[in-house]
Amino acid sequence: MTAPPAAARIPAERTHHGDTVIDEYAWLADKENPETIAFLDAENAYTEAVTAGQAPLRDAIFGEIRARTQETDLSVPTRKGGWWYYSRTVEGQQYALHCRRAVRPDDSGPPGTGDADGPGGGALDGGPLDGEEILLDENELAGDGQFFSLGAFSVSPDGHLLAYSTDFAGSERFTLRVKDLVSGETAPDEIPGTFYGGAWSAGASALFYVTVDGAWRPYRVWRHLIGTPAADDVVVFEEPDERFWVGVGLTRSERFLLISASSKLTSEVWLLDAADPGGEFTVVAPRRQGVEYEVEHQVTADGTDRLLILHNDHAENFELAQVGLTQVGLAEAALGRAPLADPAAWTPVVPQRGDTRLLGVNAFAGHLVVYLRTDGVTGLRVLRADGSEHEIAFPEPVYRVSPGANPEYGARAYRLGYGSLVTPDSVYDCDTVTGELTLLRRRPVLPLPGGAGYDPADYEQHRLWATAPDGTRVPISLVCRAGMPRDGRAPFVLYGYGSYEASIDPGFSIPRLSLLDRGFGYAIAHVRGGGELGRQWYDNGKMLHKINMFTDFVACARYLAREGWTSPQRLVARGGSAGGLLMGAALNLAPDAFGAVVAQVPFVDALTSILDPSLPLTVTEWEEWGDPLHDPGVYRYMKSYSPYENIATGRAYPPVLAVTSLNDTRVLYTEPAKWIARLQAEAPGGPFLLKTEMAAGHAGRSGRYDAWHEEALVLAWITATAAAA
């Protein structure tokens, strides 16, 4: 079967730094052009025709995902003030319900997590708690629409008002509303064009929110006075530097409103007493290029009022004397504290260490909890008021642990999340005095019809190390069925990302079981450009070191084949967004290393996008990729690896499946559309398939059943393609 015929083509010509390029598929960038939509529709029809034989397998995998999932389910309730807050899902409904139940004198812990007949009034079947109040039903809001997403969900400190925002297209542009939780009525005012999040003043008289500019950059913070028209809202902060994103929030103490302005390398924080919403925000420390910091506020049990500053210095030969720390070179993060009246008078709490990356800090009246990463594994460290400390540790070789919801400032217990490649997502409370861990909930994995149910002992996980061409050791996290033979015959999926200092931590996945139980292995390549091994791991995979990301991934693929875990023809590479760039570049670099590639919302036309400052995110991305518009060296470097420009026409390519969304504002649908069109026209091998969701955004389809169908399509394609190798 051949690809559908291309629509009429109007090439575009561009010249930068003396280099003229003819882009024969530039016409696909016009979303309003009927020819573009016709092309996408034709590609969807072609993909459906090529994969029609996989329909029974798709249905089977979807059925497995659904059967293993407890569809009517309840999150672990979180206490804030006089309420337990939680969300729940109902079998047959696409979206969640957000609820609360009043705290009762006989509540010994979160309701629904203990004995169903006990004092918590448990609801172990996932049904509603006795006395439940539904704050927001996403299913009612979504209606019959094809897409729905919630951008803000924030209850006021007094528990009386709810600010929430909705997106019905996938464009991540939200309409903000305020609901009275006492009367149940929603205010007539609607605020369109808002970004994620929002923050309440102390008395809930004012709501602060963020809007975006024409390039989808959050840049303005507004103050809305409750009960007044939205037209009267006031801008309280505007960021003119196009490298910076703006956000607004509250300290955990709820004492201060925070405005953060951050680029990829630099940040600045402004504070305002939350009890004085009409006042002026004041800067904690003026921005300095290459210096990042975050601010938290703590009022200790003895009444001491202070700021906590998580500081990161990326600037070479820069000394920050005011924190009492001298840091020269590219340093990891350090944690300091300062008097509220004198933020410049910092003293160290946790000094920087080369083997540890501090990711965040939660402040409580009696302790601090530091979120960190050491040797590629996340961790939590409790620092008590008496100066003692301990790490919250787990025995598995690879896992991920992260802060949970902890809104109660005076709480002794610390809520955290935990999971691994074989352990389902779990919620614990840690007693910060004794260190004791209490398991509140482990995500159920239900048995398939006629099956014995999920047993972690049926699977094994490993931490492996590949060696890149420059000698760098690259970690791999791997899971497979126990005792899987290493004779090269097993099909495998190798996942990668490698950008923005983001780490792909090893976690559990119900859909992945459908691969593992069909004999697949699954591995994560922790390539440079991510944050798994600290700041230098990130720095050595960005800007003019970006190619390390691609060679690391190829080295991991070669390692798995050489060690007998799989063979190149049975190895399927998978990545999304910036990980989609990784897929395209690694494929161009070594098409013989892979049997197939899945690229989801892939950033494969990187040079074209980063050259255009009018596109969403471009200017903010220059500190990640470099600025090819003004720097000829960066232009040449990006052109040397950008997947769209570097298809190897003389070498056979394996099958490729690209999945994208028409309304994606982060990676425009244009990129995979152009890439697949060029692969179909120029590259031997394939087939090269494009699947475009016509009513979705960057994260794909929004309803959980729709998302499972989309994942089943991808997993069925992976399974069938590997089997045909």
Side chain identity at residue 501, one-letter code = E
Look at phi and psi of residue 582 and say left if phi exceeds 0, alpha if psi is from -120 to 50, else beta.
alpha
Distance in angstroms (rounded) separating the CA atoms of residues 714 and 520: 14
Catalytic residue among 98, 505, 664, 702: 664
Give yes or no: 614 in active site.
no
Rounded to 5 degrees, φ, ψ at 139 are -65, -40
The reply to whether 664 belongs to the active site is yes
Distant-in-sequence, close-in-space partners of 384: CB < 8 Å, separation ≥ 6: 366, 367, 432, 433
Structure tokens at 551: 């060679």
SS3 track for 380-428: EEEEECCCCEEEECCCCCCCEEEECCCCCCCCCEEEEEEECCCCCCEEE
Instruction: Give residue 578's Cα distance to chain centre.
Output: 12
Cα atoms in the Cβ-side hemisphere of radius 13 Å centred on 461 = 18
- DSSP helix, strand, coil percent of the chain (3-state; round to 5): 20, 35, 45
Spell 218-233 as b/e; 16+ CB within 10 A means b. bbbbbbbbbeeebeeb
What gap in Å lies between CA 515 and CA 681, rounded to an integer?
A: 32
670 — phi, psi (to 5°)? -55, -35
Structure-token match 């929110």, residue found = 209
In whole angstroms, give the CA distance from residue 225 to residue 228. Answer: 6
Q: Give the span between the Cα atoms of 498 and 504, in whole angstroms.
A: 8
Is 149 a catalytic site residue?
no
CA gap 188, 42 in Å, rounded: 43
Query: Which long-range contacts (C-beta less than 8 Å, at least 24 apart) are formed by 558-563?
Result: 558/466, 558/590, 558/593, 559/464, 559/466, 559/467, 559/476, 560/466, 560/476, 560/492, 560/494, 560/523, 561/488, 561/593, 563/464, 563/486
Strands 571-576 and 596-600: parallel
Catalytic pick from 75, 149, 165, 577?
577
Q: In 213-316, which residue ranges form alpha helices assigned H by DSSP?
A: none
Identify the CA nearest to 167 among candidates 194, 188, 135: 194
Catalytic residue IDs: 577, 664, 698
